[in-house]
Structure 1
Amino acid sequence: MTTAWHALAQLVSWPDLTEVRSSCGTGRALGSAGGEIAHFHSDHGVDLHLTAGAIRRYGPDLRRSTAIRLVPGSHWVTVRVECEADVSLVMTLMSAALRAHQEQPDTLAASAARCNDRLEAALTHRDAL
């Protein structure tokens, strides 16, 4: 079992999370009462919907982590999951995401925004031009 799937296996047992169909069409997803909250795109990639407020609050710490990628304008963060410490990071960020969704959910338009999977590909392509 790869590290991202190990994280998913742990998270599906959390009472506030259920496995749902990924709206981006890639991989597997977890949802909460506020909608989709995590996408597991690959053996080593997880997108977490933290909300704009949580990204502002935790932004400096998130930017210091080499395992985390922030996409400008996105309310999702991408975590590269390569070892058990990264799995722990996903668990911590999931707790923060659940709390953020309960305390100050994103607006309906922001909640409907897609994860970083497609955004990252578009940005990477644009940057290459």
Structure 2
Amino acid sequence: MARAVAELRSWPALAASDTRRGLTFAVRGTEILRLSGPDQVQVRLTAPAIDRLGHYLRECVQVHECADGAWVAVQVEAEPDLELLFALTSVAIKAHVP
């Protein structure tokens, strides 16, 4: 997870914040990533993006829908999981930038 955090901190569109709940990342003031465990990150994709990607997300064992329909949880255990996290983070950024 340290590699993911280091990489995400270098992305110019993201602003990192250490909160009581843990490390979060925001784009234009909207929180889009939160570290929710030692190997899990929640990503705010938005409901329309989840609907669009739903078929693929449901087939991926590393991704789980959260109770809030705008978020998914990504289990990061290996290098391919990092690439998935970075790809979903890109989707989240695009979903929150007009």
Tell me the TM-score normalized by structure 1.
Answer: 0.70
Look up the equivalent residue of 2:77 and give its one-letter code. Answer: E
Higher helix proportion, which one? 1
SS at match of 2:97: helix
More displaced 10-residue stretch of structure 1: 57-66 or 70-79 = 70-79
1:51 to 37, 46, 55: 46
Instruction: Give the deviation of 1:66 after TM superposition.
Output: 0.3
Structure 2 equivalent of residue 83 of structure 1: 78
Match of 1:70 in 2: 65
- The equivalent residue for 1:119 is none
Larger Rg: 1
Unaligned runs of 5+ in 1: 104-129
- SS of the aligned residue for 2:74 comes to strand
Segments of structure 2 that go 5 or more residues without pairing to the other structure are none
Letter in 1 for 2:81: D
Equivalent residues, number: 98
Q: Please give the alpha-carbon distance, in whole angstroms, between the structure 1 residues aligned to 2:18 and 2:27.
A: 12
- Tell me, yes or no, if the aligned pair for 1:71 and 1:77 is still in contact at 8 Å: yes
Q: Shift of residue 27 of structure 1?
A: 2.0
Matches of 1:6 and 1:43 in 2, distance apart? Answer: 12
Q: Which residue number in structure 1 is paired with residue 6 of structure 2? A: 9
How many percent of aligned residue pairs carry the same amino acid?
Answer: 35
The one-letter amino acid paired with 1:88 is E
- The aligned residue for residue 35 of structure 1 is 30
Letter of the 2:94 counterpart:
R
Instruction: Give 2:17's aligned residue.
Output: 20
SS at 1:41 equivalent: strand
Q: TM-score, normalised by structure 2?
A: 0.91
Query: What is the rounded CA distance, in whole Å, between the counterparts of 1:12 and 1:73 in structure 2?
Result: 25
